Chain A
C-alpha cells in the first residue's frame, strides 16, 4: 500500500487504515457497485443462452459462455420489416455520423473564429440568440424543420438528418471554439494581419495547426452526441435508414415474438460500444469536452 502511483498533490493522509479512510473507500466502492451493476448484468446476460437466462440469475457469470446472442443481434435481429440485425443501423449511423461531425465541426470552428477574432456589428447578438437556442426544447422546432427539409427535398434521407445535426450541434460547438480561439494570444493574430494574411489564411495557417486539442474535444462531443441521438433519427429518417440507436429501441421494445433477453442485451452493448470506447480512450479530453460545454453555457 505504499506505492506512489496515482497520488494526487498535497500531503499524504497519515494513516492508511484510519476509520475515515475505511469509510471513505467503503462508500466509494458501494456507490461503484450501483454504477457498474447495469454494465455487469448486460455483459453477463449477453453471454448466456436463453435457457440459462430463464434461470434468472442475472448477476451470475455464465455457466456456459456463448457468443451467439452477439452474432444474432448483429446480423439477424428483427425490427418490423427487416431482419438483418443491427448491422444495418450501424452502417446507417456511420453514414450519418461522419458527414455530420465533419460538417458541424467545420462550420462551428469557422463561426467561433469569426466571433472571437473578427467581430462585426451584430455578431454578438446572433451569438446570444444561438446560445439561447440551445435551451429551447427541440419539440417546438421539429415540425417546421420537417417542412423546411421537405422544401429542400431532404426529408427522410440521410442528408436531411446530417443538416439537422449540424444545426443543433452549432450552439455548443461554436461556444467551444469561440472560447478557445479567444484564449489564443492576440499578438499572434495581429502579427499575421500585419504580414498581410486575411481571414482564411490566418484560420488555416495560424489557428488550425495550434488547435488540435479543441478539435479532438469537438469530435468526441459530436460523435457521442450524434451516435446517441434518438429523437432526430426517428423524425427525420425513414425506417430503412434509421440510425443504430433508433433501431436498437425498435428491436428490444418490439412486441412481436418471444423476448430474447440475451440478444437484446448484446444489441444494447453493441450500440453502446462506440461511445463507450470513445469515452474510455479519450479519458480526460471527454471530461474537458463536457466541462467546456457545460460550465461556460
Chain B
C-alpha cells in the first residue's frame, strides 16, 4: 500500500465522468463487489444478527445483548479465549525469537544455506491438517517420542501433552511453531539482507561483539520487519482452527477448544446461529484491537511510510 504509481494523465477529457476509464471500472468490478458485498456487507450482516435471537434461521424480530451475556457465561467460550491467549502469546514469542534466531544463523555466511532454508521452510508448505496429524502421531504416548525415549532406558520420561488437559495447548503450540516459524525466518532474513554491510564493518572496527551488534544495532533497525511479522502472526493466531481440529478435535474434554471452533459448532451443529454470530463478532473485535494500533503506526504517521 505504499508505492503508488502516478495516474496517467487523461489524454482527452471525456464527456461523462462515469464513462471515463470505463474498462478499468468494469475490470475492477469483482474487487469492488468483494470489498463491498463480502468484506463489508457480510461482516455488517453478521454483527447485526448477533444482536438477535436467531436459532436455526436468521430472525430479526427481537434485539438484545442476550447473546453476548450468554457467551461470556459459557465455560467452553472462556476456555477457548484462555487457550487463544496462551497459544497466541507463546506462539508470538516463539515464532519471533526462533524465526529471528534462524535467520541470524543463516545470515552468518554459512555453507549450505539453501539446504537449511529449505528444511526450515518446508512445513509452511504443508497444511495445518497435515501438521496436526503428524504431531498427533509423534506425541502419541504409546508409539511416539515418549515411548521411544522410554525404550532407551529413561523410564520416567514423559511427553504426553495431548492427553493432559493442562498441557494440551502446549502440544498444539509445538506443532504450530513447527509449521509457522519458517515464514517468519524468511521475512527476517529478507530484513537482515537489507542491512548495509558497512554497519557490520563499523561495529567490528569499534570492537562490538556479534551478539551485542544484533541486540543493540540490528534488531532496532529491523523494527518495521518485526512489526510486520507481529501483525502476520497475530492475524494467523485468531484464525487457528484446522490445527486443533486435526490434532485434538478440541479435547480432551473442552481443554483445547479455540474460538473459531466455538463459532463453527454454534453455527453449523448446534443450530444456535446468533450465538455463533456473537462469538465471531468478538473475534473481529480482538483482531481490531491488534490491527488498529498497527494501522495507526504504519499509515497514520506518513513520514515513516516508504
Contact = CB atoms under 8 A, between A and B. Distances in A.
Interface string B39-62: 111110111000000000010000
Interface residues of B, number: 105
Given A36-B119, A248-B130, A143 B277 contact: yes
Contact of A294 (B110, B228, B239, B264): B228
B113 A8 contact: yes
Interface in B1-56: 1-8, 11, 17, 20-21, 23-25, 27-28, 30-32, 34-43, 45-47
A107 B30 CA distance: 7
Contact of B43 (A123, A141, A228, A253): A141
Interface in A220-234: 224, 227-231
B116 A32 contact: yes
Given A6-B112, A42-B137, A252-B133, A186 B5 contact: yes
Contacts of A138: 239
B79 interface: no
B129 A139 contact: no
B105 A119 contact: no
A126 B122 CA distance: 35
Interface string A19-49: 0000011011001101111110110010000
Interface stretch (A154-162, A209-217, A283-291): A283-291
Contacts of A10: 109, 197
Q: Is the interface of B mostly helix, strand, loop or mixed?
A: helix
Interface stretch (A52-60, A65-73, A74-82): A52-60
A111 B178 CA distance: 35
Interface in B171-192: 178, 183, 186-187, 190
Interface string B184-208: 0011001000000100000000000
B134 A38 contact: yes
B55 to A, nearest CB: 13
Contacts of A271: 127, 129-130
Interface in A124-147: 124, 126-145, 147
B104 to A, nearest CB: 10
Contacts of A24: 105, 108, 110
Given A111-B31, A117-B8, 5 more contacts: A41-B134, A126-B28, A130-B34, A167-B34, A294-B186
